[in-house]
Amino acid sequence: MVQLTKAEEDIMKILWQLKKANVKAIIEEFPDPKPAYNTVSTIVRILEGKGVVDYEKQGKGHIYFPVLKQQDYSNQSINKLVDGYFQGSFKSMVSFFMKKNDISVNELESVLKEINKNE
């Protein structure tokens, strides 16, 4: 299971959106104030070291692309959340969010339809 920091997740979200990008293009997607080039470059290399990002040479630079699929990371993160806070019970998690977020009956029915559709 790959663990990503908040900064690493932020860059991965951009790469998932762009599909391929150099460091400059990644920085352009950040809101102001934008992070420093060296900071983003370092984090991208860390992601590469973790095996979640790879690159293609382009001239003197690199074009980075995600190796880790967003869906795979999302599934892993949800499972970690459920295991860590809800003792592995999706039922407990849904119950918690229903109570804490005041989910309407219509929203719950919509969720149930999605679950039934995917079975």
- Domain range for residue 22? 6-66
Question: Helices in the chain by DSSP H: which ranges?
Answer: 6-18, 23-29, 37-49, 70-85, 90-101, 105-118
Shared domain check, 114 and 62: no
What's the CA gap between 22 and 96, in Å, rounded? 41
Query: For residues 20 and 63, is the Cβ–Cβ distance under 8 A?
Result: yes
Domain count, the chain: 2
pLDDT 10s digits, 66-88: 999 999 998 888 888 889 999 98
pTM over 0.75: yes
Shared domain check, 97 and 52: no
Query: For residues 54 and 64, is the Cβ–Cβ distance under 8 A?
Result: yes
Shared domain check, 62 and 99: no
pLDDT < 70 stretches in the chain? 118-119
